[in-house]
Amino acid sequence: MLSFTLKRLGDLIPTLIGVSLLSFFVIRLVPGDPVMLLLGERGADPKVYQEMKKELGLDRPIINQYGSFILNTLKGDLGRSIISKRKVTEEFFGRFPATLELGLCALIFAALIGIPLGILAAIKRNSFYDYFLMGGSLVGYSMPIFWWGLILIIVFSVGLGITPVSGRIDVIYEIKSLTGFYLIDTLLDTELISEEGLAPFTSAISHLILPSIAMGTIPLAVLARMTRSSMLEVLGEDYIRTAKAKGLPYKKVILVHALRNALIPIITVLGLMFGSIITGAILTETIFSWPGIGKWLVASINARDYPVIQGGVLFIATMVVMINLSVDFIYALVNPKMRH
């Protein structure tokens, strides 16, 4: 297990070098420079333009720029955003918990509904339930998030008035940012609890409902279909027939014998999904004014904010690799064969 862990951690280094090279050079291959964008329609005298480039360190040879980026990164300094002039690390960690919190909730929503639906479809194979659920999952999978998000807002927030339209918490509550996760912060802030009770916590939950549904709908559909096919495969195995023949209760055969094996490919998909949920959060974050990293990164690409793109991509790549690494560990726990 130790050598397995060390080997997987060792894989991290070439991955990160590759990501740093890609994020650094690809954005510089895209035409247009940040100074031109800062100036916009105004333009500037060529002398002023050169001076501004110099101030941002963009006049140096590209190899030198990459060299200092790597050296500074090793020292833990990812530079400053050209636009906000703040440190990239500070900008990233100010936003990442919001994306992570939403991503986790969306995934929990998808797993809690998608997996049972997949099991149901598998055990009721070729019945009305099966066709209905699989047809529904196809609809869910093809749902444009932007449209779906707005429909959810119009129905639940404006029409029925039961959920808030957007944001992370009701604006009247001032949360002390301790962990950045509002579900936790609202329970840790004793001063707030003594004044408002559990209202800020429930407000944070209610703000998570619609974005989690919007973000989790596609993963839910994928999970339901994956679970169905994985379960069908396992249900056809000899040992299941043996279990049934031994007279084991049907529930036990399905939930203990079949599901455990069927879950293995699903866990892998969940890990990969989490990576794509984190990086693809932009649409949900825009509709629900969710202050996460998706929106921030896209804005910096549009503004050619080089330090943010380099640093942000590097952080996300590290996170995704770490998540996949933890999935491998969970995989090893579920499937003892993997431990060796």
Partner 1 sequence: MRKTLTMGLLLSSLLFSCSGKNKSSNNFVYCSEGSPTAFNPQITTDGTSNNAAAHTIYEKLVDFKYGTTEVVPALAESFSISEDRLTYSFKLRKDVSFHDQGKFKPTRKLNADDVLFSINRMRVKDHPFNKVGGGSYEYFNGMEMGQIIKDVTKIDDHTINITLNRPEAPFLANLAMSFMSILSKEYGDYLTTKNEKEKIDQYPVGTGPFIFKKYVKDSIIRFKKNEQYRGEKAKVDGLIFAITPDASVRFQKLKAGECHLVIEPSPADLDAIEKDEGLKLLSGSGLNVGYLAMNTQRKPFDNQLVRQAINMALDKEAYIQAIYLGQAIKAKNPLPPTIWSYNNDIKDYEHNILKAKELLSKAGHPQGFETEIWTLPVTRPYNPNGKKMGEMMQADLAKVGIKAKLISYDWPTYLKKAREGKHQLIQLGWTGDNGDPDNFLNVLLGCGGVEAGSNVSRWCDQDFEKLISEAKLTTDILVRTQLYRKAQEIFKTQAPWVPLAHSKVFRAMSKSVKGYQIDPLGGDIFKKVELK
The residues of the shown chain that bind partner 1, judged by CB under 8 A, are 30-33, 36-46, 48, 51-52, 55-56, 80-86, 91, 94-95, 98, 150, 153-154, 157-158, 161-168, 170-172, 174-175, 177, 199, 202-203, 205-207, 209, 286-289, 291-292, 295-296, 302, 304
Measured between alpha carbons, how far is 240 from 32 in angstroms, rounded to an integer? 61
Nearer to partner 1, 18 or 197 (CB): 197
Task: For residue 14, give every residue at least 6 positions away whose Cβ sits within 8 Å of its Cβ, in sequence order, or none.
Answer: none
Nearer to partner 1, 208 or 323 (CB): 208
Measured between alpha carbons, how far is 316 from 19 in angstroms, rounded to an integer? 10
To the nearest whole angstrom, how small is the minimum distance from the Cβ of residue 4 to partner 1?
Answer: 38
Residue recorded with tokens 């499937």: 335
CA angle 259, 261, 263 (to 5 degrees): 65
To the nearest whole angstrom, how small is the minimum distance from the Cβ of residue 185 to partner 1?
Answer: 11
To the nearest whole angstrom, how small is the minimum distance from the Cβ of residue 9 to partner 1?
Answer: 31
Nearer to partner 1, 33 or 130 (CB): 33
To the nearest whole angstrom, how small is the minimum distance from the Cβ of residue 2 to partner 1?
Answer: 40
Task: For residue 7, give every residue at least 6 positions away whose Cβ sits within 8 Å of its Cβ, in sequence order, or none.
Answer: none
User: What are the φ/ψ torsions at residue 83 (nearest 5 degrees)?
Assistant: -80, -55
Q: First vs last Cα of the chain: how many Å apart?
A: 7
To the nearest whole angstrom, how small is the minimum distance from the Cβ of residue 313 to partner 1?
Answer: 18
Task: For residue 3, give every residue at least 6 positions away whose Cβ sits within 8 Å of its Cβ, in sequence order, or none.
Answer: none
Hey, what amino acid is at 41?
A: E
Nearer to partner 1, 98 or 133 (CB): 98
What is the token pair recorded at 46? 């060529």
To the nearest whole angstrom, how small is the minimum distance from the Cβ of residue 167 to partner 1?
Answer: 6
To the nearest whole angstrom, how small is the minimum distance from the Cβ of residue 19 to partner 1?
Answer: 24
Rg (CA), the chain: 24
Task: For residue 109, give every residue at least 6 positions away whose Cβ sits within 8 Å of its Cβ, in sequence order, or none.
Answer: 212, 213, 216, 220
- Crossing angle of the two packed helices 259-279 and 306-334, in degrees rounded to 10: 170
Nearer to partner 1, 174 or 195 (CB): 174
Nearer to partner 1, 127 or 302 (CB): 302
CB count within 10 Å of CB 277 equals: 24
To the nearest whole angstrom, how small is the minimum distance from the Cβ of residue 81 to partner 1?
Answer: 8
Nearer to partner 1, 47 or 251 (CB): 47
Nearer to partner 1, 98 or 277 (CB): 98
